Structure 1
């Protein structure tokens, strides 16, 4: 660890998780068990008409040794972030299944064979 003399914020050399967006990494913060930061993924690809209005990313809590925190999934994730909220991976999978079922029904109503 080295101290940033301008802000006294510690600087750690933890590698980012695979798929992280280096432009969307929070500063290190102190909490009761040490330091952590939030790390965000690159945006997930969306159709062009949806992309300007929706940002879907993964967000995780990382500690200075590079580990992604997984021992507190209800509070620390990793989460899928969209619609300005964090969602569990299981919740997102359930939502995806519901969206696919709705799309299938819309296709049936339109007479589209799948």
Structure 2
């Protein structure tokens, strides 16, 4: 039992410290911040639109494009992190397959940039 506790005691200490730190930050932010509410602060923020209009109104396609670009590059990071951790154990095939993946993503990003999907007017 002592062996198990010695292995997991670091994790328990980390969880306890993170709970204490997050509680302290929450309490301090509640105490320090000003409590003056105005119309802008209490209104809901819905992608730049008035939230009290009809829910079926159409909006610009660029919101979707930005969301898709975010998902693409978020997935890229989720593939890059484990690849970078196991880079020393991979063969040249694993390295070059990820390089090709990054080139394809870069070409897609340049295409989106060239088409003006990132320009907001």
Q: Is this a same-fold pair by TM over 0.5?
A: no
Q: Which has the larger radius of gyration?
A: 2
Give the structure-1-normalised TM-score. Answer: 0.30
More strand by share: 1
Q: Relative contact order (C-alpha < 8 Å, sep 6+): which is higher?
A: 2
| TM-score of the two chains, using structure 2 as the length reference | 0.29
